[in-house]
Amino acid sequence: MSLEPIIAKFHEKMKLHPEFKATVKFDMGPDGILHVDATKRPGVIKTEDGEATLTLLLSKDTLSGLLNGTKDPNVAYLTGKLKIKGPMGLAMKLNAFLED
């Protein structure tokens, strides 16, 4: 399954949240990596590895659910479906970005 629907959703969310300015890497294991650079406008999204302030380890299904609002980021974190590497404060800002 392609990452294009996920990438399109990220572009929508970046338009809704211009105040979110960070680099985030979503490591989906065998399904690939999304590197989101929201420090630039328009934001840049790549499917290759790169340095990021925050790294999230999760499955593609979990990421899709977070973006579509069918999964709660807090529950995903507490149940181990989402692991965070980086500043927790930035992860909380990302939570608001994903939930909207």
Determine the structural domain holding residue 48 and report its residue range: 4-93
Query: Does residue 11 sit within a domain?
Result: yes
Query: Does residue 60 sit within a domain?
Result: yes
Query: Does residue 98 sit within a domain?
Result: no
CATH number reported for the structural domain that contains residue 47 in this entry: 3.30.1050.10
Query: Does residue 66 sit within a domain?
Result: yes
pLDDT digits (tens, 9 = 90+) for 80-98: 999 999 999 999 999 888 8
Which of 4, 66, 60 has its CA nearest to residue 32? 60
* Sign of the alpha-carbon torsion through 59, 65, 70, 71: positive
pLDDT digits (tens, 9 = 90+) for 43-64: 899 999 999 999 999 999 999 9
List of residues 6+ apart from 57 with CB closer than 8 A: 27, 29, 82, 83, 84, 85
Global pTM value: 0.92
Q: Which two tokens stand for residue 13?
A: 């969310």
Query: Does residue 100 sit within a domain?
Result: no
Using CA atoms, how far residue 69 sits from 3, 19, 30, 40, in Å, is 17, 20, 23, 25
DSSP 8-state assignment for residue 31: G
Query: Does residue 67 sit within a domain?
Result: yes
Query: Does residue 12 sit within a domain?
Result: yes
Number of domains in the chain: 1
Average pLDDT over residues 52-80: 94
pLDDT digits (tens, 9 = 90+) for 17-42: 889 999 999 999 999 999 999 998 88
